[in-house]
Chain A
Amino acid sequence: MKTVRAALVVARGNDRGIMTMAQGISRRDIVRQAAGAGMLISASGMGINARAAEVLKVGVVFVSPITEVGWTAQHRQAADAIKAALGDQVVVDVIDDIFQPQDAERVFRGFATSGHKLIFGTSFSHGAPMAKVAQQFPKVIFNDCAGVKHGPNLGSFEAKYYEAGFLAGVVAGKMTKTGKLGFLGGFPIPDIIGPGNSILLGAQSVRPDSTCKVLFMNSWSDPGKEKEGARALIAQGCDVICAMTDSPAAVQAAEEAGVWAIGYASDMKKFAPTRQLTSMVVDWSSVYVQDARDVAAGTWVSKARWEGLKEGVVKLAPLVSTIPEDIRALVRKKEDEIKAGTLLPYAGEIRDQDGKIRVPKGGVLGDDDVRAMNWLIAGMVGQAKG
């Protein structure tokens, strides 16, 4: 326990993040470790057939139940992409609906002891247990989506949702009548607060008086509560609803009420065929496939991946057909600018809810500040609290 703690303190205490611990270990060490892991597995007879030594076993732990759309559906798609890319050189085992850290630790340990050499977590609640297990299985590679802890065999990956959020906000700002948006978040964590802010920044860039009401669910998947939350926002005059949770309940509520919706994680068009303006789609396939290839080749190196529109990890779903061409052109232009790095969604001046200047004119919010964002921008109504 003491060593675990010490390592975490090192990883956290280091402001720039992230890379230092990985750099402490040379590439050759990693190759040797991975080769060692391969030998260990074939020697202990984990694989039943003779081919087992070449087959990479991958374990993926989903935070919520597997459903048609949403966060877990996108991770499942990425897990399937490994199979499509590596064929019979890989076995992918998955388990869904593991949210609690104490359960996740048991499952990670189970995967690690049953010959899985690459294990994915898909939630910030998987971070702490994954860090503990990673310490005890130095020859197994761990990668946590939304993780904040890192080590020689523990990496993280995240998406720049805010890039798609800003574009969706532009569409919302153009299409809203009331100028009031509504945002439902799972938990008030930086990965949710940041994109929420970016949607309003996008809307304010085309309609400066836009505001946005926020509610947090304290759960990733509670369709009943999400629907109620969405209805409450609609009743308060919000006519564009976005929910960063795991279910399409809010999008459905918007369709039923005849207001606009912005989907998240998956394209949720099916659940709001006439009312989903667009969706902030995440596609982790490139991360999963690259990791599987690197682990199989013994070249995996711990890193903190954080990618957006340019890399294709974040995408904007096709705009609903009722959006006029001039708005489409505007969104296309802004998308190109974000990809090119000429449009920065978090460029100043940005004030917080109290009117305090957080990003001065001409400045831009630093990456570390974006990833630790726990404050709401001016125009947000509500609190960044559960």
Chain B
Amino acid sequence: MIKVHLERRLVPSTIMVIGAPVLALAATIGLGTILFLGLGIDPLATLYQFFWAPLTTPNGLSEWLLKASPLILIALGLSVGFRANVWNIGAEGMFIMGAIAAGLLAIHFGEGAPVWLLPAMVAAGALGGMAWAAIPAFLRIWANASEILVSLMLNYVAQLFLAFLVNGPLRDPDGFNYPQSPLYDPSAMFSPLFDEMRLNSSIFITIGAVAVTWIFLERSFLGFQMTVGGIAPVAARYAGFSQARAIWTGLLAGGAAAGIAGMMEVSGPLGQLTPVISPGYGYVAIIVAFIGRLNAFGIVVGGLLLSLLYMGGESVQIALNIPSAITRTFQGMLLFFLLAADVLIHYRIRLGRT
């Protein structure tokens, strides 16, 4: 009987660094074509709607970047921790807490706020996210509690806290008793970059974060220490690199990035606090970080891809009248193949007889 097994490569394959995503794309298109044909949908039209149609208008491009921006920003922060095997699953909660911290400022000042309100809200967003991230960091170091579980469970706490606020203290007094805060004053909002489009100046925060994260991960000593801690924990300890510092750095970076992203979302497309402010960005960003292979520029590509998949899914639904269940299946296929194919960078497939 022929046995298929994976054999570790001595050095990572340079061909597969490029080849793996190409293979994944080919597999997705192949399997997707079978899926669409089976459902009686034109595969070519579907693929066009998925990957190209959303980008054919200026507004489409604006929406593409608008949706990618928070995903990229959160994933950048998460990648700092993931490099050091600090598994922060709590970006969703940090996103929410950042948005709440900034929202308190926005609602407190209301109309005609001072010019420093928006920068202060960015800082509040970062601090809100970091405060939430400090809980799993502290518990990990003090009690050796798994940061995966603690950060994950805190997501639900943050979600319920937001629901409590918009149902109670922050509810818009003129809002017909609906659970949402008053609309933010324009002084608490990022200004749109172009007329009639939603892309706003917060995109520059994300661009700046890409540069900062790249320098930190690839060029700083602390970034190097964290990478070593992730690849070879024993070696890192032997070299005297502090594990506690890696945990604090990893979680706080993730918290700051997610907190700012939450603030950006509310001061951008949302304009007010509502019971649910995140369409799962904190979770999707984990996929983005891994599609980007924990590299700052890779994450930009990953974020743009995920954003395109969202928009492509919508465009397919509208153009071809198929339900979201099918577009979601196709999106899932692509993500699965992308992450699975990366195995081929470090392993080769061997066929052997038993």
The interface of chain A, by Cβ under 8 A from chain B, is 1-2, 5, 8-9, 12-13, 59, 65-66, 93-103, 105-107, 109-111, 113-114, 124-125, 128, 132, 136, 148, 187-190, 218-219, 371-374, 385-386
Contacts and interface: CB of A to CB of B under 8 A. Distances in A.
Interface string B260-284: 0000010011111011111100000
A84 to B, nearest CB: 16
Contacts of B180: 128
B321 A102 contact: no
B323 interface: yes
Contacts of B277: 100
A1 B270 contact: no
A12 B175 contact: yes
Contacts of B52: none
B189 A386 contact: no
B57 interface: yes
Interface stretch (B115-123, B161-169, B207-215): B161-169
B178 A13 contact: no
Given A5-B183, A95-B318, A189-B177, A101 B59 contact: no
B270 A106 contact: no
30 contacts: A5-B183, A5-B185, A12-B174, A12-B175, A59-B318, A65-B323, A93-B321, A94-B321, A95-B314, A95-B324, A98-B314, A100-B277, A101-B274, A102-B268, A103-B310, A105-B269, A106-B67, A106-B198, A106-B311, A107-B314, A113-B59, A114-B318, A128-B271, A128-B274, A148-B178, A188-B167, A218-B160, A218-B163, A218-B276, A385-B164
Interface in B174-225: 174-180, 183, 185-186, 189, 192, 196, 198
A187 B166 CA distance: 12
Contact of B186 (A5, A13, A106, A109): A5
A66 B180 CA distance: 26
Contacts of B265: 102
A93 B317 CA distance: 9
Contacts of A59: 318
Contacts of A136: 196
A102 B164 contact: no
A336 to B, nearest CB: 31
Given A96-B323, A132-B271, A188-B167, 6 more contacts: A9-B174, A65-B325, A93-B321, A124-B178, A148-B175, A218-B275
Given A65-B324, A110-B318, A218-B275, A105 B176 contact: no
A107 B310 CA distance: 11
A1 B177 contact: no
Interface string B138-166: 00000000000000000000011001100
Nearest to A2: B186
B177 A113 contact: no
Given A65-B325, A93-B321, A190 B176 contact: yes
A128 B271 CA distance: 9
A66 B179 CA distance: 25
Nearest to A383: B167
B279 A102 contact: yes
Nearest to A191: B178
B63 interface: yes
Given A190-B177, A218-B275, A105 B186 contact: no
B178 A190 contact: yes
B314 A386 contact: no
Contacts of A132: 271
Interface of B: 57, 59, 63, 67, 159-160, 163-164, 167-168, 174-180, 183, 185-186, 189, 192, 196, 198, 265, 268-272, 274-279, 310-311, 314-315, 317-318, 321, 323-325
Contacts of A100: 276-279
Contacts of B177: 189-190, 372-374
B176 A66 contact: no
Nearest to A375: B177
B274 A125 contact: yes
Contact of B198 (A105, A111, A113): A105
A13 B270 CA distance: 21
Nearest to A62: B324
A66 B323 contact: yes
Nearest to A5: B183
Closest 7 CB pairs of A and B: A386-B163, A102-B269, A374-B177, A97-B324, A100-B279, A372-B177, A95-B317
A209 to B, nearest CB: 29
Nearest to B189: A1
Nearest to A124: B178
B314 to A, nearest CB: 6
Nearest to B324: A97
B69 to A, nearest CB: 12
A101 B176 contact: no
A187 B179 contact: yes
A242 to B, nearest CB: 21
B234 to A, nearest CB: 42
Nearest to A102: B269
B168 A385 contact: yes
B324 A106 contact: no
B176 A148 contact: yes
A103 B279 contact: yes
Contacts of A109: 59
A197 to B, nearest CB: 13
A189 B179 contact: yes
B167 A385 contact: yes
Contacts of A101: 269-270, 274
B324 A113 contact: no
Nearest to A386: B163
A113 B57 contact: yes
Contacts of A114: 318
A123 B185 CA distance: 24
Contacts of A13: 174
A102 to B, nearest CB: 4
A372 B324 CA distance: 33
